[in-house]
Amino acid sequence: MTRVALCVNGRSLQVRAGISVAAALAQSGTATRRSPRGQPRAPLCGMGICFECRVCIDGEAHVRACLITVRDGMVVTTE
């Protein structure tokens, strides 16, 4: 099983290759975003519709983590 290394909020995370960023974040127990009132949120629909899994990936904010496959060296930041 190939593994890739991501950087999530400054911490290194080893995950199986081919999984989505949303799955990787769940593995590390990280909520994906904070709502305007500050509530922690995590993926809801799993298919790119709800936008609850928005994170910052490689410098681009508000990317849906459920649509992006992990890449080695990827930098992910959550709110």
Partner 1 sequence: MTGRYDVLVVGAGPGGLEAARTAAAHGARVGVADMQPRSGGQVWRHDVRRGAPRAARAAAAALAHVDQHFGCQVIDGDRGELLLEHERGALRARFDRLILATGARELLLPFPGWTLPGVTGAGGLQALVKQGLPVDGKHAVVAGSGPLLLAAAATLHSHGARVLGIFEQASAQAVSAFARRLWRWPARAAQAARLRLALHGVDYHFAHVVSAAYGEDAVRSVAIEDHAGRQQRIDCDLLAVGYGLVPNVELAALLGCALEPLGAHQRVRVDALQRTTVANIYAAGEVCGIGGLQAARLEGAIAAHTALGDLRSAHRLHASRERARRFAEAVTKSFGLGPRVRALAGPDTIVCRCEDVPLSALQGFTESRAAKLATRCGMGACQGRICGAALAELFQFVPAPPRAPLFPARLGSLVTAPAGTRNGAGERAILPGEAPCAAPRK
Partner 2 sequence: MTGTRYDLIVVGGGIVGAACADAAVGEGLHVAIIEPGPVGGGATGASMGHLVAMPESRAALALARYSLGLWERYAELPEAEFHRCGTLWVAREEPELATASEHFAWLTGAGVRARMLDREELRRREPALSHSLAGGLLVPDDATVYPPRMAQWLVDRAAAGGARLYVGRRAQRLEGEAVLLDDGRRLQGAVLIAAGCDTAQLLPQLPLRARKGHLLVTDRYPGVLRHQVLELGYTEGVRGEAASSVAFNLQPRPTGQLLIGSSRELDATDAAVSRPMLRRMLERAFSFMPLLRELHALRAWTGFRPTSADGLPYLGEADATRRIWIAAGHEGLGVTTAFGSARILLDLFMGRTPAIDPTPYLPARVLS
Task: Summarize as ranges the residues that interact with partner 2 (CB under 8 A).
Answer: 36, 59-62
Using alpha carbons only, give the angle 34, 78, 16 rounded to the nearest 5 degrees.
130
CB closer to partner 2, 20 vs 64:
64
Segment 52-71, which members bind partner 1 (CB under 8 A)? Answer: 52, 54, 56-62, 66-69
Q: Does residue 51 touch partner 1 according to CB under 8 A?
A: yes
How many angstroms separate the CA atoms of 72 and 6, rounded? 6
Q: Are the C-beta atoms of 30 and 23 separated by less than 8 Å?
A: no
Q: Residue type at 23?
A: A
Q: Does residue 7 touch partner 1 according to CB under 8 A?
A: no
Q: How far is the CB of 63 from partner 2 (least distance, A)?
A: 9
